[in-house]
């Protein structure tokens, strides 16, 4: 069914993944989040916007009791199911739907999400488009976490500097969550972002740094935010 296969190493884990141009290929932030996943055995996990299923598979291998993985894209849902089987992981329930709709009335110990955050005036592909300021999906995931986490539950979520790392920190505080930064990276702009650079630098929340080659780069922070017990 899928022609390409790759392996991603995270600590002692080697995750095999099918690849297809219709589904998001795990990149730097996906790997950073994966390296930040710490679970107590048996926890119930939600991976929101699972794409290839990568983060759900890592969570399962790290001891999640069960995992629900959701995505709006039917292609992603099909691939996440195939990748779970490829990795011999049988406790992931993959569901198709918009944001928290497939888990209405359900609560989790841990929510993991790597939402699309590319800001653009024109719509982009669903796996990257974050609305005009890049925060449309991110903010909805943040607000919904309070409803879908059990008391004491944790949200693991990144924010990239072009959409405002401090904006996420303030939102988490307003939601009554106790947060800390558990991962950090710096990544040069992709071809897509270079094309959007003139737009991005005018966004009020955006911050860009330039590396030693004077390439524009964004930074990413992974937040772990906890609901009070």
Ligand X SMILES: C[S@@+](CC[C@H](N)C(=O)[O-])C[C@H]1O[C@@H](n2cnc3c(N)ncnc32)[C@H](O)[C@@H]1O
**Interaction site with ligand X (CB under 6 A):** 24, 26, 30, 49-52, 54-55, 70-73, 76, 98-99, 114-116, 126-127, 137
d(CA 155, CA 177): 9
Closest to ligand X by CB, 143 vs 178, is: 143
Cβ neighbours, 10 Å, residue 136? 16
Residue with tokens 């307003």: 174
Least gap, CB of 213 to ligand X (angstroms): 26
Which residues, including other chains, have CB under 8 Å from residue 216's CB and lie 6 or more apart? 188, 189, 193, 194, 197, 208, 209, 210
Question: Which of 99, 107 has the CB closer to ligand X?
Answer: 99
CA distance 179 to 165: 12
* Cβ-contact 8, 54 below 8 angstroms: yes
Instruction: Provide the minimum distance between the beta carbon of 73 and ligand X in the complex, in angstroms, as a whole number.
Output: 4
Output 28 or 178, the one with its CB closest to ligand X: 28
> Would you say 99 or 169 has its CB closer to ligand X?
99
Q: Look at the alpha carbons of 128, 130, 134, 135 in this order and tell me if their dihedral is positive or negative.
A: negative
CA dihedral 190, 218, 79, 66 (to 10 degrees): 170
By beta-carbon proximity to ligand X, the closer residue of 76 and 156 is 76
Nearer to ligand X, 152 or 191 (CB): 191
CB of 71 to ligand X, least distance (A): 5
38 C-beta neighbours (distance < 10 Å), count: 12
By beta-carbon proximity to ligand X, the closer residue of 43 and 71 is 71
CB of 151 to ligand X, least distance (A): 25
The secondary structure of 2-27 as a DSSP string is --EEEEEEETTEEEEEEE-TTSPPP-
Nearest to 78 by CA among 136, 3, 20: 20
Smallest gap from Cβ 130 to ligand X, in A, equals: 9
Q: How far is the CB of 159 from ligand X (least distance, A)?
A: 13
Q: To the nearest whole angstrom, how small is the minimum distance from the Cβ of residue 70 to ligand X? A: 6
Give the containing element (helix H, strand E) for 171. Answer: helix 165-174
């Amino acid at each position: 069914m899928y022609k390409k296969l790759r392996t991603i190493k995270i600590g002692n884990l080697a995750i095999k993944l099918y690849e297809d141009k219709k589904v998001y290929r795990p990149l730097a932030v996906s790997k950073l989040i994966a390296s930040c996943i710490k679970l107590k055995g048996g926890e119930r996990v939600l991976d929101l916007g699972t794409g290839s299923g990568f983060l759900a598979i890592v969570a399962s291998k790290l001891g999640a009791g069960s995992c629900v993985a959701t995505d709006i894209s039917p292609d992603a849902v099909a691939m996440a199911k195939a990748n779970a089987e490829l990795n011999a992981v049988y406790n992931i329930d993959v569901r198709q739907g918009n944001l928290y709709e497939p888990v209405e009335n359900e609560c989790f110990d841990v929510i993991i999400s790597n939402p699309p955050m590319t800001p653009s005036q024109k719509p982009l592909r669903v796996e990257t488009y974050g609305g005009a300021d890049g925060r449309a999906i991110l903010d909805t995931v943040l607000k919904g976490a309070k409803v879908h986490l059990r008391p004491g539950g944790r949200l693991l979520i990144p924010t990239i500097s072009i959409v405002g790392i401090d904006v996420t920190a303030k939102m988490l505080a307003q939601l009554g969550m106790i947060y800390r930064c558990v991962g950090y990276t710096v990544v040069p702009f992709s071809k897509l972002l270079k094309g959007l650079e003139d737009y991005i630098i005018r966004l009020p929340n955006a911050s860009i740094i330039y590396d030693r080659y004077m390439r524009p780069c964004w930074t990413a922070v992974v937040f772990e935010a906890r609901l009070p017990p």
